[in-house]
Chains A and B, each alone.
Chain A
């Protein structure tokens, strides 16, 4: 799992991510996030990296 920045425009990505969810209900937002995770997982395409990302995401919540 890479921990250094790989995005050319982090602020732009963050804004697009939030904008895309504007006007959605809570239910629709959950669905959006799930769809996005599945799409991104297939772009990563590496089981070990995905497992590390899942662990890192979970660890930060305690």
Chain B
């Protein structure tokens, strides 16, 4: 979680409003073994129990790596800031499915299908996502809205249930020493100060991380002029369950505004403020109440749950790996909130890093595999920053000239459908493609596969992610159609030597060979773009490493070695 000790413009200032805030869990401080004379080295220390850190801890726990998580607080969410991220996109929901918290997220969260975009008093256009197969085939929906602390809460519950990860609350990291074979962390606790040794450290401590400076990793940044104020509000009479976006809101002096629904009947209202507004003044409850009355009328019956103002900034570290320290989530990159790309990209960072760390630690694979984390996720961060800055430019044209272009777009969007594509109120987070990844070993490498429905040979329904559970979280090799004679033995040999499990997709049922799955709607073959006799290698984060047409066992082995960073392309 962010460390606010550094005197700089806060990313977000939070004020808890009495009466409305949530009851958050409080976790116990337990005196660490190091303070009781225990020594020993942890395989992984994760700094920060926010969304990214907890996702990574859970992922590692399921891969058999007992990480230790250090957090300076003892609850979920930033204290007094009961609300941060609110929207989880499909790839994150698939990760939550894999980690075992998806059912809870889906039960508590809300979905909307109708979105309306307004400029002035008119609706520019409306959109109904119902039945639109924009993300074809996943068992998870395009997105679910839910307050971030709930997701963190479920992850903590899951970690306690799994039992292998140690969660150290009230443990504040105050220094770092990097050695060739380990990292030493100076940690402050209520029971005293101690030194912790870990083979690897992952910094998930947020946008004010100090580990970056301690490691000497530079931050490339951009600070926007734009200021926003969030009000989370519980209404007595619920507005329609739709997402409304104003580009020029009459009740907000012609600036932008948002209205989305979250769990517990709480609405997130987000108001664009004039450039260089004083954030503290703009987030005073009486100022916020006045803003709400202008939007909803004087007789509004409601309760303010949380208020916070923030300024835009974009930041990206020059590298995401520094020796044995890796950076993930907001500690590695910060972007404007459009399209929910902050939290969702943190989840994707953890999803990308977990299996690589586990294979380097437990599978004896080269550290070069971790360089692919830096390569892939830094390109993802750059893309997310580029996409969110485009939205910021549309919502706050920097000069009159760009305002005229926006006026042209808004005018045309009311008249002709194609122009709606230019109306940019945020592009929902999508999994980043890695077309240039060093791990790509065939056609289509670096593309994510959606979690499609499958049937197991015994007729039971499953999904693509279930194959990774059967595979013990190794790579999944899919062979479409019938196997050439004598191939099964060679593949079994590869399974003994590499972290991979092979499955046949379709073909003739035959006993005693590789496990067989049925591609229920042909979605798997379509997504992977593989025909009969073809092969697809899936990474543990459900990305395609590559596909091959009718490969020999030797060609499959070579593909595997590239995808595991054992060989270069």
Contacts and interface: CB of A to CB of B under 8 A. Distances in A.
Interface stretch (B403-411, B483-491, B553-561): B403-411
Contact of B422 (A27, A30, A38): A38
Interface in B32-49: none
Contacts, number: 23
A53 interface: no
B418 A34 contact: no
Nearest to A27: B404
B108 interface: no
Interface residues of B, number: 12
A38 B412 contact: yes
A8 interface: no
B419 interface: yes
A39 interface: yes
A62 to B, nearest CB: 19
Interface string B371-414: 00000000000000000000000000000010011011101100
Secondary structure at chain B's binding surface: helix, strand, loop or mixed? helix
Contacts of B419: 38, 42
A31 B407 contact: yes
Q: SS class of chain A's interface: helix, strand, loop or mixed? A: helix
A58 B476 CA distance: 50
Contacts of B408: 31, 34-35, 38
Interface in A27-41: 27, 30-31, 34-35, 38-39
A38 B404 contact: no
B434 to A, nearest CB: 22
B404 A42 contact: no
Contacts of A39: 412, 416
A30 B401 CA distance: 9
A38 B408 CA distance: 8
A37 to B, nearest CB: 8
Contacts of A35: 408, 411-412
Nearest to A42: B418
Interface in B280-314: none
Contacts of A27: 404
A10 B408 CA distance: 26
Given A38-B419, A38-B422, A42-B418, A30 B409 contact: no
- For B401, B405, B422, which residue has the most chain A Cβ atoms within 10 angstroms? B405
A5 B409 CA distance: 29
Nearest to A32: B408
Contacts of A42: 418-419
Interface in B313-350: none
Contacts of A34: 404-405, 407-408
B407 A38 contact: no
Nearest to A45: B418
Given A38-B419, A38-B422, A42-B418, A30 B412 contact: no
A27 B422 CA distance: 21
A52 to B, nearest CB: 20
A46 to B, nearest CB: 14
A43 to B, nearest CB: 10
A27 B407 CA distance: 11
A30 B418 contact: no
Interface string A9-36: 0000000000000000001001100110
Contacts of B411: 31, 35
Nearest to B418: A42
A27 B408 CA distance: 11
Interface string B416-438: 10110010000000000000000
A27 B409 CA distance: 15
A34 B422 CA distance: 13
Contacts of B416: 39
B455 to A, nearest CB: 40
Contacts of A31: 404, 407-408, 411
Contacts of B412: 35, 38-39
A31 B401 CA distance: 10
Contacts of B409: 38
Contacts of A30: 401, 404
Interface string B186-227: 000000000000000000000000000000000000000000
B397 to A, nearest CB: 12
A46 B569 CA distance: 33
A58 B555 CA distance: 49
Nearest to B421: A42
Given A35-B408, A38-B408, 4 more contacts: A31-B407, A34-B407, A39-B416, A42-B419
Q: Which 5 A-B pairs have the closest CB atoms?
A: A34-B408, A35-B408, A42-B418, A30-B404, A34-B405
Interface of B: 401, 404-405, 407-409, 411-412, 416, 418-419, 422
16 contacts: A27-B404, A30-B401, A30-B404, A31-B404, A31-B407, A31-B408, A34-B404, A34-B407, A34-B408, A35-B408, A35-B412, A38-B408, A38-B409, A38-B419, A39-B412, A39-B416
Interface of A: 27, 30-31, 34-35, 38-39, 42
